[in-house]
Amino acid sequence: MKNIENNLYGFSTADSISTGNIPVVLYNYELAKQDLINSIYTRRGERLMRPTFGSIIWQYIMEPLIDSNRDIIINDLQNIVNSDPRFNPIDIAVTEYEYGLSVQITLLYVPVGSVDTFQLDFDNRQLNN
């Protein structure tokens, strides 16, 4: 990541791997948001030499979404968001859908004071991948 004229930027290879396209340049908020999404979608223990990195949500996809499980998932997501100083969590909601869990996160992007809400789906059909 480089800083030119106070404008952070980096490259995302997410689309280029599957389509062969040139990597997309992401700036400031988009880059920070992609970093956060990557942290959340990473299964805890999946990263070599970083056993506590990632989310435990994958462990709860096949479990009933009772209050205690929902609280564990929300607490885990809050810890992930709080580990990135660029964000403050405002609200995190977890719901079930036919094939897994859906998470809606409302965040404050600290550097500019903007608020955004986005949704992430954790599909149990991805468990075998």
Burial class (CB in 10 A: 0-12, 13-18, 19+), 14: middle
pLDDT tens for each residue of 90-106: 999 999 998 899 999 99
| Cβ(124)–Cβ(61) below 8 Å | yes
| Neighbouring C-beta atoms of residue 63, cutoff 10 Å | 12
pLDDT at residue 2, rounded to an integer: 40
Confidence of residue 129 (pLDDT cuts 50, 70, 90): low
Extended strands (E) in the chain: 2-4, 7-12, 24-27, 87-97, 100-109, 114-123
pLDDT digits (tens, 9 = 90+) for 43-94: 999 988 989 999 999 999 999 999 999 999 999 999 999 999 999 999 999 9
Residue range 29-126 forms a domain whose CATH class is alpha beta
pTM of this prediction? 0.77
